[in-house]
Amino acid sequence: MYDAGDDRLLMVASDRISAFDVVMAEPIPRKGEVLTLITAWWLSRLATEGAPPVAHHAMTVDPEEIVETIPELAASRDTWVRRAILVRRTDPLPVECVVRGYLAGSAWQEYRQRGTLAGQPLPSGLVQSQRLEEPIFSPATKAVEGHDENIPFQGVVDRLGRERAEEIRDLSLALYRMGAAEAAARDVILADTKFEFGVDSTGELLLIDEVLTPDSSRYWPRDDYRPGSSPPSLDKQPVRDHLAGIPEWDRSPPPPPLPPSVVEATTHRYLELFRRMTGVELDRFQPPTFEAFDPPDGDPR
């Protein structure tokens, strides 16, 4: 995140990747481009009829508009083009808005241990990766250091007040349902995802950060989905699988090197998800424009 002046930030996604909270030495080619442009694609869907009524922080992903707004970025354009979004600055709310539609990851672990999800009792006899009857809002803290921690909905109320807590819960569930329906139409399952919200200088609530990307979401190809197992996900799963197969690594820095085959397989999954969702190859994708963008001589929003 870079200070772009006038209540703006430049959000740039790199190709660096982490697993088990450790950053790998090897980048994943094109990962940052995928994260930025699929976020832009999803944000553009919020302007369509029937989309959840939420504003977002993105102003533009167009490099010409970014340079026009911040001329000093012209010299470094090649390093950030198609991986940067100019956004409105906000004060982020101190919670992660996780929505789960399937019993996977830490949700499956909680259910196995306590029969609950986000502190809510679930029916007995559910299996790994099972579709939940209704999506569940499963919030977490935003840890400055260490791991985020799952909290019950009351924990969000305690931090933000009931009105704001209910607002972001309802928006998160609506955004998940939109994303799940879009994914299903493309033979992809959106198992779970995470949203973040912030408040700008005018007090407006905005959807911020990356949105429905393979780094903030768990996507499964529908053809590979089998309840009772862990389907292959369209994200950095090859990296996790490779590292999990190295028992002598204690999951602390420095990480073991990633073989070229693992790097290539991971890039392929990011590109495959992008193609499935947007309908075009990454190289052919034309970034959308946002109504929220103000020209350089206008008042920043």
Please provide the CATH number assigned to the domain covering 93-197+211-224: 3.30.470.20
pLDDT value of residue 148: 73
Residue whose tokens read 């791991």 = 147
Element (H, E) at 261: helix 260-278
pLDDT value of residue 293: 46
User: d(Cα 24, Cα 245) in Å, to the nearest integer?
Assistant: 16
Angle at 57 between CA 166 and CA 21, to 5 degrees: 80
pLDDT surpassing 90 at residue 143:
no
Burial 186-210 (b: 16+ CB within 10 A, else e): eebbbbbbbbbbbebeeeebbbbbb
pLDDT value of residue 292: 47
Please answer whether residues 98 and 139 qualify as being in contact, where contact means their C-beta atoms are separated by less than 8 angstroms. Answer: yes
What average pLDDT does this structure show over 221-231?
96
**Of 3-7, 266-270, 287-291, 297-301, highest mean pLDDT:** 266-270
What average pLDDT does this structure show over 166-171?
98
Residues 6+ apart with CB under 8 A from 229: 128, 129
What is this structure's pTM? 0.93
Which superfamily, per CATH, for 2-91+236-284?
Phosphorylase Kinase; domain 1 (3.30.200.20)
One fold for 2-91+236-284 and 93-197+211-224: no
If pLDDT is split at 50, 70 and 90, which confidence band does 142 have?
A: confident
User: d(Cα 57, Cα 144) in Å, to the nearest integer?
Assistant: 22
Q: Which of 213, 249, 194, 208 is nearest to 17 (CA)?
A: 213
Biggest CA-to-CA distance, the chain: 60
pLDDT surpassing 90 at residue 89:
yes
Angle at 150 between CA 146 and CA 155, to 5 degrees: 110
What average pLDDT does this structure show over 22-28?
97
pLDDT value of residue 15: 98
pLDDT surpassing 80 at residue 298:
no
Segment 284-291 long-range contacts (CB within 8 Å, at least 24 positions apart):
285/37, 285/41, 287/37, 287/40, 287/61, 287/62, 287/82, 288/40, 288/41, 288/43, 288/44, 288/61, 289/60, 289/62, 290/43, 290/44, 290/47, 290/56, 290/58, 290/59, 290/60, 291/47
> Is the preceding omega at residue 254 within 30 degrees of 0, hence cis?
yes
User: d(Cα 51, Cα 200) in Å, to the nearest integer?
Assistant: 22
Domain ranges within the chain, ordered by starting residue? 2-91+236-284, 93-197+211-224
